[in-house]
Amino acid sequence: MSWEPLKYLSDAGLSRLRENVVDNLPSYLDGDFSELSENSEWSLVLSDASIDPSEFCRLDPSGTPEAEIENSRIVWGALKGLNPSLACQEGIWARITHVEGLEYTRSRWLKKDSDQQTLLKSINKHFFAKGLNGRRDDNAIARLWWNAYIANQMLPGTGLEALPAILRKADIRLSFIERSLTASRPKLAAGVVRAINKYDWLSAKEENFRKFMKELNQKGGGVMFEVIDEVEVDIFMLNCAQSAGMENQEFSGV
């Protein structure tokens, strides 16, 4: 891999970029931002973080569930030294979507035959990262990093094996992002992932998973998951699922 210091946009550069979206439409649709990116406002350096620009050409803009999983792995591997605190800086993600991740972001989120209002809405949503939702859910590259971060928190050292489970439904992803305590308790998180993989009912409807997590929160407050074995964790998950409304499901072992 070819590592370079991770650069980000200054607040002033970010404001100018946001103000000039209409003027820059040709660059968003068919061109690039190479001239602008040479400006010092685009070149502030995060000394503790690195990026491998070559990895971003591997991103798949098809939008399929399989692409979302693989793209999350690629972005996770292409950014080194990031943490949730740094990942809250809009200037990081706005620069990546306009430089290293431009082709992917354009192909994934912009339809050239759309009217101007639709294009502007998509650009402001997916090329920038304003606010919590913007950083976590909307920016084309940031959302992929957050997918991988949560998967790594849930099942550390497993090569992001939790990604397919947490990306099965948007509500499942959001639940794990908003419930950092669950994601930071590996045995509990692993049990939830196994339950999602085992019981289709949990991801059949977003309402089902919300009910399941409500039961888990109510029943699991005093449970020391760290000291009980996997089978006991799975039985607990089954009980929560059944209390949430899942019927005709029996525990069949790990």
User: pLDDT by residue (tens digit) across 50-66?
Assistant: 999 999 999 999 999 89
| 41 confidence band (pLDDT: 50, 70, 90) | very high
Residue type, 199: Y
CA–CA distance, 171 with 177 (Å, rounded to integer): 10
- Find all residues with CB under 8 Å of 169, minimum gap 6, and list them: 203, 206, 209
Judge whether residue 248 has pLDDT over 80: no
What region does 159 belong to: left with phi over 0, alpha with psi -120 to 50, or beta? left
Q: What is the dihedral of CA 244, 247, 251, 254, to 10 degrees?
A: -70
pTM, two decimals, is: 0.84
What is the enclosing helix (H) or strand (E) of 4?
strand 4-8
Which H or E run contains 210?
Answer: helix 206-220
Neighbours of 119 (CB within 10 A): 20
pLDDT in tens, 219-237: 887 788 888 889 999 999 9
CB 23 within 8 A of CB 123: no
Question: For residue 89, is pLDDT > 80?
Answer: yes
Cα–Cα distance, 194 to 199 (Å, whole number): 8
**Residues 135 and 142 sit within 8 Å (Cβ to Cβ):** yes
Which pLDDT score, from 0 to 100, does residue 179 have?
A: 62
SS3 167: coil
* pLDDT of 181 above 70: no
116-120 average pLDDT score:
96
